[in-house]
């Protein structure tokens, strides 16, 4: 009886297979960086006029403050960077800017960290406007807000930890004025079975794609008249 000997693999075919694998990887990498559309391409600079994608989110988180501000400048958003300031124990800000004009008018009192400003720009352009257009056939012209920076603790408590507002890393949004004159208010319309109520519900849910923390009237009584957004790193959407 003859024993069946295992066939010896040829060293040459192994080397060729490896070479082809490396060549294919290089080709795919080249094609990705050369041709992937900007919102999905890590080599292209962040552009807030493009839709937020997982790649854009990575660019924002890993790109650093200067690239963040460059992205806002490219989009035409007007702002003034402010000097760092310590205002009290646990209060003050670093690398913030005062918003003068975004895609929508916010009025005075918007001083925020750069990733928060990018979040607002994304929310305006890719959530507020398309949803307003869909429900009302009109655009949001103005946002009503309760401000950003405030040296205080979470929930205005006497003790406990500092709010993200204490480092200009949070904003409270109270309502909207549309181009057709219609007013939408979190206090008046949240929970309504009306286009205004549906608008608030949809933009609240979409905000959770742009900020770490999103709190609204469903969270607690203190938020009955506004949405709170911050980038403090605590992921919640309520």
**What minimum distance in Å lies between the beta carbon of 77 and Zn ion?**
22
**What minimum distance in Å lies between the beta carbon of 71 and Zn ion?**
25
Whichever of 98 and 228 has its CB closer to Zn ion, that residue is 228
Neighbours of 126 (CB within 10 A): 18
Residue 56: phi and psi, rounded to 5, are -65, -35
CA neighbours within 13 Å on the CB side: how many for 67?
14
Footprint on residues 145-164 left by Zn ion (CB under 5 A): none
Neighbours of 189 (CB within 10 A): 19
**What minimum distance in Å lies between the beta carbon of 107 and Zn ion?**
17
**Residues 204, 181, 177: CA angle, nearest 5 degrees:** 30
Task: Tell me: does residue 228 bind Zn ion (CB under 5 A).
Answer: yes
Span of 10-18, 27-35, 136-144, 223-231 interacting with Zn ion by CB under 5 A: 223-231
Residue nearest to Zn ion (CB): 228
Whichever of 104 and 170 has its CB closer to Zn ion, that residue is 170
Neighbours of 80 (CB within 10 A): 9
> Given CA atoms 201, 204, 206, 209 in this order, what sign does their dihedral have?
negative
Among 72, 116, 172, 200, binds Zn ion (CB under 5 A): 172
Task: Tell me: does residue 204 bind Zn ion (CB under 5 A).
Answer: no
Site of interaction with Zn ion (CB under 5 A): 170, 172, 228
């Amino acid at each position: 009886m003859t024993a069946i000997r295992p066939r010896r693999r040829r060293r040459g075919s192994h080397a060729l297979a490896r070479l082809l694998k490396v060549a294919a990887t290089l080709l795919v990498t080249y094609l990705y960086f050369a041709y992937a559309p900007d919102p999905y391409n890590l080599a292209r600079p962040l552009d807030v006029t493009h839709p937020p994608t997982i790649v854009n989110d990575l660019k924002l988180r890993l790109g650093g403050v200067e690239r963040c501000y460059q992205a806002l400048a490219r989009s035409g958003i007007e702002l003034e960077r402010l000097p760092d300031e310590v205002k009290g124990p646990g209060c003050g800000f670093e690398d913030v800017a005062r918003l003068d004009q975004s895609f929508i008018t916010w009025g005075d009192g918007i001083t925020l960290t750069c990733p928060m400003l990018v979040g607002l720009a994304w929310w305006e352009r890719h959530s507020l406007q398309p949803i307003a257009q869909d429900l009302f056939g009109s655009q949001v012209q103005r946002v009503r807000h309760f401000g950003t920076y405030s040296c205080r603790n979470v929930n205005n408590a006497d003790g406990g930890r500092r709010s993200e507002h204490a480092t200009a890393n949070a904003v409270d949004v109270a309502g909207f004025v549309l181009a057709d004159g219609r007013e939408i208010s979190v206090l008046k319309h949240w929970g309504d079975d009306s286009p205004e109520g549906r608008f608030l519900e949809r933009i609240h849910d979409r905000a959770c794609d742009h900020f770490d923390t999103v709190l609204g009237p469903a969270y607690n009584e203190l938020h009955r008249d506004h949405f709170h957004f911050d980038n403090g790193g605590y992921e919640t959407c309520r």
